[in-house]
């Protein structure tokens, strides 16, 4: 029996949250409708729609945010030219059962200019894409954190295509006890294997064909990992051979990381891993990744 003259002492976060949920329901036992958030930068394609489809399975109400976040673009990057197609995006979302679109201006999100308070992505945020794009992941985590606070969703959905982003968002949510379920959706690809991206629109036809070398390299790595027994070095060699054979593609980084730590695996490592790749095709930076089973 609880003693009404004494506070209830709760020792775990899960118990505290369950207790507060009961209190808020005010004894009715009825929960309100659930909400799922799909954060995007717009210029929507079938990859974004896969997130929307999953969001509709998970929640009663789907919110899609469309915001080209200045905080996650570096000097000399494509902030000014990033495709902005709000009317077409809203039309597409209307046809795909989305209830709410949140499309704020930069002044709405950052009324005092760039925020002084930031979420930092730590060491992993400085590697791979973070090495080529300093500050990118701090800016990304900061806006994701703001969106989670603004919308307060039960679930938020992210694409596996941005593997480092997924890792950092999951870690932020865990480390800062953000009360949201993070759901990861597999990468949607064109027929030739190229991962769909809003930046693919920058590519000429020959570049678009050349860009297939990224997914083809990942496939070569996966099959080398399955059959060769040579660990990460053999997988890296297999991928590099395919990608470097394509003259339109300039490799930025190619790495095999541990799925739990996101640090590069050693040559002797055996087990599940993920290969990450980034390359320039002309002036367009593309990324991709795939799981590897290093046996």
Query: Among the candidate windows 28-36, 82-90, 191-199, 214-222, which touches ligand AMP by CB under 6 A?
Result: 191-199
Is 215 an interacting residue with respect to ligand AMP (CB under 6 A)? no
| Rounded Cα–Cα distance for residues 136 and 73 (Å) | 6
Q: How far is the CB of 54 from ligand AMP (least distance, A)?
A: 10
Task: Find the DSSP H helices in 3-85.
Answer: 13-24, 46-58
Task: Give whichever of 147 and 236 is closer to ligand AMP, judged by the CB atom.
Answer: 147
Using CB under 6 A as the binding rule, whether residue 137 contacts ligand AMP is answered as no
CB-based contact 235:294 (threshold 8 Å): yes
**How many Å apart are CA 50 and CA 52, to the nearest integer?**
5
Q: 58, 31 in Cβ contact below 8 A?
A: no
Active-site residue identified among 45, 48, 123, 136: 48
Among 196, 232, 239, 278, binds ligand AMP (CB under 6 A): 196
Site string for ligand AMP, 26-65 (x = CB under 6 A): --------------xx-----xx-xx--------------
Decide: 238 and 224 in contact? Cβ < 8 Å: yes
Q: What are phi and psi of 285, to 5 degrees?
A: -95, 125
Report d(CA 285, CA 295) in Å as an integer.
31
Task: Report the residue closest to ligand AMP, judged by CB.
Answer: 159
Beta bridge partners of 190: none
Task: Determine if 197 is a binding residue for ligand AMP (CB under 6 A).
Answer: yes
Catalytic residue list contains 45: no
- Residues recognised as catalytic: 48
Binding site for ligand AMP (CB under 6 A): 40-41, 47-48, 50-51, 158-159, 161-162, 185, 187-188, 195-198
């Amino acid at each position: 029996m609880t003693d009404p003259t004494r506070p209830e002492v709760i020792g775990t976060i899960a118990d505290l949250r369950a207790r507060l949920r009961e209190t808020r329901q005010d004894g009715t036992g009825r929960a309100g409708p659930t909400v799922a958030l799909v954060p995007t930068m717009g210029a929507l394609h079938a990859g974004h729609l896969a997130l929307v489809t999953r969001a509709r399975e998970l929640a009663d109400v789907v919110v899609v945010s469309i915001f080209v976040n200045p905080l996650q673009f570096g000097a000399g990057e494509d902030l000014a030219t990033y495709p902005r197609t709000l009317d077409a995006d809203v039309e597409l979302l209307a046809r795909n059962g989305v209830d709410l679109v949140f499309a704020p201006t930069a002044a709405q999100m950052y009324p005092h200019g760039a925020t002084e308070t930031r979420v930092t992505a730590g060491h992993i945020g400085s590697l791979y894409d973070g090495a080529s794009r300093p500050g990118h992941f701090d800016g990304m985590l900061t806006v994701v954190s703001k969106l989670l606070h603004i919308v307060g969703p039960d679930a938020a959905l992210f694409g596996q295509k941005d593997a480092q982003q997924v890792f950092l968002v999951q870690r932020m949510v865990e480390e800062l006890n953000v009360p949201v379920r993070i759901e990861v959706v597999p990468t949607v690809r064109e027929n030739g294997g190229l991962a769909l991206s809003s930046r693919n629109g920058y590519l000429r036809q020959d570049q678009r064909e050349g860009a297939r070398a990224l997914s083809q390299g990942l496939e070569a790595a996966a099959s080398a990992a399955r059959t060769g027994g040579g660990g990460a070095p053999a997988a890296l060699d297999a991928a590099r051979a395919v990608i470097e054979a394509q003259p339109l593609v300039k490799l930025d980084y190619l790495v095999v990381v541990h799925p739990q730590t996101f640090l590069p695996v050693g040559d002797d490592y055996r087990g599940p891993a993920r290969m990450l790749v980034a390359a320039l095709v002309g002036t367009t930076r593309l990324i991709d990744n795939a799981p590897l089973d290093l046996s």
